[in-house]
Amino acid sequence: MKKTTHILSALAVSAVVAFGSVSCNQTKGEAAESQAADTTEVAETAPKGAIVYLDMTRVMAEYDMANDLRTVVETKVQNIQAEITRREKNLTNAVTKYQEKVQKGLMTRTVAETEAAKLQNQEIEFNNYANQKNNEINEELLVMNNQINDAIATFIKKYNEEKQYAMIILTQGDAEGDGVVSLSAPVITADPTLDITNDVLAGLNEEYIASKNENQSK
């Protein structure tokens, strides 16, 4: 009977949205490298039918595709936010000038009412613009997450056709970068010899780089 891979816990790509959440200092990086070295040999020798786990914290931080997509989306978000801020500032300045003129009695009531109506329309237009752009940001993030999700899930399926593990658990571990395995629920702790993160990361990045080089050569 063909074994089926059970992938527990949703792919935690929502963490991708928090752009700063995957940054690591040098000390954490050294600890992660040490842990990775320990798990490389383990990943190759874990027996068929074993229950192994994959640290999504490391995958999201070290997967080249995730980092490239994150950079692209982050640039788009920053540009959109800058334009929203610029328009909001212009509107605020216009309202301030209007209020100053009214207070100084520099406009007739008719002119003041006309200007007030214009400012109200500008405010409505700004709010519509900001809402539209915020929706675009959410859509960009959703598509990015879906792309990363699909790439990881597709690779893991193909990866396990060879490894034939009974279960692959996705979790978030070693958040402190100290090399101590500390996993999120439902897994409290785990044998580090069952960590396949390094092996999966190597495969993911190798596949992504090959695909990127192929696209660039076209």
Nearest to 68 by CA among 209, 203, 170, 217: 209
Token pair belonging to 146: 């879906």
How much is the average pLDDT of 158-179? 79
Res 72: pLDDT: 96
Whether the CB-CB separation of 167 and 49 falls below 8 Å is answered with no
As a whole number of angstroms, the distance between CA 33 and CA 21 comes to 19
Token pair belonging to 135: 């929706």
Asked whether the predicted pLDDT for residue 26 surpasses 60, the reply is no
Helix (H, G, I), strand (E, B) or coil at 184: coil
Looking at per-residue pLDDT, the higher value among 207 and 176 belongs to 207
pLDDT, tens only, 110-159: 999 999 999 999 999 999 999 999 999 999 999 999 999 999 999 999 99
Token pair belonging to 141: 């993030």
Asked whether the predicted pLDDT for residue 84 surpasses 80, the reply is yes
* Band of pLDDT at residue 29, cut at 50, 70 and 90: very low
Find residue 139's DSSP bridge partners: none
- Using only C-alpha atoms, what is the Rg of the chain? 26
How much is the average pLDDT of 87-110? 97
pLDDT, tens only, 178-202: 444 455 556 677 888 899 999 999 9
50 φ, ψ to 5°? Answer: -75, 155
End-to-end CA distance of the chain: 42
What does the mean pLDDT of the chain come to?
Answer: 80
pLDDT, tens only, 30-81: 444 444 444 444 445 688 999 999 988 899 999 999 999 999 999 999 999 9
- The residue type of 135 is N
Is beta strand 167-171 parallel, antiparallel or unpaired with respect to 51-55? parallel
pTM for the model stands at 0.71
Q: Which run of H or E residues covers position 170?
A: strand 167-171
